[in-house]
Every structure is written in C-alpha cells, then in structure tokens.
Amino acid sequence: MRRGMRFTVYNSSGRGGGFYSSAGAGGIFTRWLVLTAAVLITAYLFDSIHVDGFLTALLASAVIGILNMLLRPVLLLLTLPVNVLSFGLFTFLINALMLKIASGIISGFSVTGFWSTVFGAVVISIVSWILNIFLMAAALPASPGGKQSSGDIELTKKGDRWE
C-alpha cells in the first residue's frame, strides 16, 4: 500500500503562479517584452529586416501580438485544409503574413523579400519560445531545499488522514 502521493497544483491558467503567469497585466507585459526582444534579435540577424530602435520594436511587437490575437485564428481556420495537407508547414506562411502586415503598419519597421519574411517569422517564433521557456523556469517558486519547485505537493497518509 502506498503511503505517499503527489498532487500537482495549477492555477486557473494551467501553470504554476508567479510573475510570469499568463493571466493579468504582468504576464501580458512580459510576453510583450519577450516578443520585442525576439523582433530585435531577428532584425540583428537578418539584413532584410530593419528596426529603427527599441520603441519601433515595441510598437511592432504590439501590432504582431494584436494581429496574432485577432487575425491569426481566422486565417488558421480558413486555411485548415491546406495546413493539414502540408502537415502544419503552412502556419509558417501565416506567421510571415503577420510579420509583413506589421511592417506595413509601423513606420521604421521594414521586412523586404519573401524568404526573409518567412525565415524572420520562424526566428521570431523560435526566439520567443526559448525566452518564454527561460522565463517560465525562472518563475517557478523555490522549494525549501533551494531547488526549483514544480508546484507538486507531497501528501502522506497517517491513519485515515492525509497530511
């Protein structure tokens, strides 16, 4: 008979708490800064992607975020058959379209060329993903032993009671 059990506690967003939780203004602001950093890193890596400065990158990432929130789900739904047939690779073209639309809206942010737009969107996605992983790992609460906690709670059964 097992004496101990592990239960994982999640908040309403399905993740552990902390500053980087996706709910609330702190999470949105952090994601915005992560996307801004990804745009700046991508502009540094590609000569065909130009950003005038940090404020321009901040505005461009805000527009990309709004487009991803409003327009991307509609485009994914409309292109679902093509996306299924291409095993999801068509999503890269949708991401490139969001990047190109943002470059048309924000002055000081330009993306030239089809392939640089596609590869720029891929790099922005990868950099954002990596930065989000680091921020989520840093946001996990520390356990008493000094190690990072996964949000698990140790329970042991004493008699007919769990403690």
Summarised one tens digit per residue, pLDDT across range 52-95 is 999 999 999 999 999 999 999 999 999 999 999 999 999 999 99
Q: How many domains does the chain have?
A: 1
Secondary structure of the chain in the HEC alphabet?
A: CCCEEEEECCCCCCCCCCCCCCCHHHHHHHHHHHHHHHHHHHHHHCCCEEECCHHHHHHHHHHHHHHHHHCHHHHHHHCHHHHHHCCCCHHHHHHHHHHHHHHHHCCCEEECCHHHHHHHHHHHHHHHHHHHHHHHHHHCCECCCCCECCCEEEEEEECCEEC
pLDDT in tens, the chain (163 residues): 445 444 444 444 444 444 444 455 667 888 899 999 999 999 999 999 999 999 999 999 999 999 999 999 999 999 999 999 999 999 999 999 999 999 999 999 999 999 999 999 999 999 999 998 888 877 766 555 555 555 667 777 788 887 7
Residue 162 lies in a domain: no
Residue 72 lies in a domain: yes
Residue 1 lies in a domain: no
Residue 76 lies in a domain: yes
Residue 158 lies in a domain: no
Residue 43 lies in a domain: yes
Q: Which domain holds residue 49?
A: 17-139
Residue 146 lies in a domain: no
Tokens of 141: 């609460």
Residue 160 lies in a domain: no
